[in-house]
Amino acid sequence: MVVDLKKLSDSLRQSSPENDLRNDLRRIIRARKSDIEHALSTTGTYVLRVPDGRRIRLSRAVKAIETAEAIGASL
């Protein structure tokens, strides 16, 4: 019985809202990979809705790099 309580305690310590969200995102992205890749190639963005109702906007990395370079050039 003590071993079971120890395992339960360890698993509860490892679980957190952040880890749960991260795991949900991985699962959703894997399931929608082809849709995401198509949207990124055609429009450059994809809005992902996570189970808790939030929206996450995915963009191509090229645009983020260009934006960072433009900000750096203006400083």
pLDDT band at residue 35, thresholds of 50, 70 and 90?
very high
- pLDDT > 70 fraction of the chain, expressed in percent and rounded: 73
Kind and range of the H or E run holding 25? helix 17-31
What is the CA angle 72-39-30, rounded to 5?
100
Tokens found for residue 22? 């991260």
Q: In the chain, what are the domain boundaries?
A: 18-74
What is the enclosing helix (H) or strand (E) of 59?
strand 55-59
Mean per-residue pLDDT over the chain, rounded = 76
CA 45 to chain centre: 14
pTM to 2 decimal places: 0.55
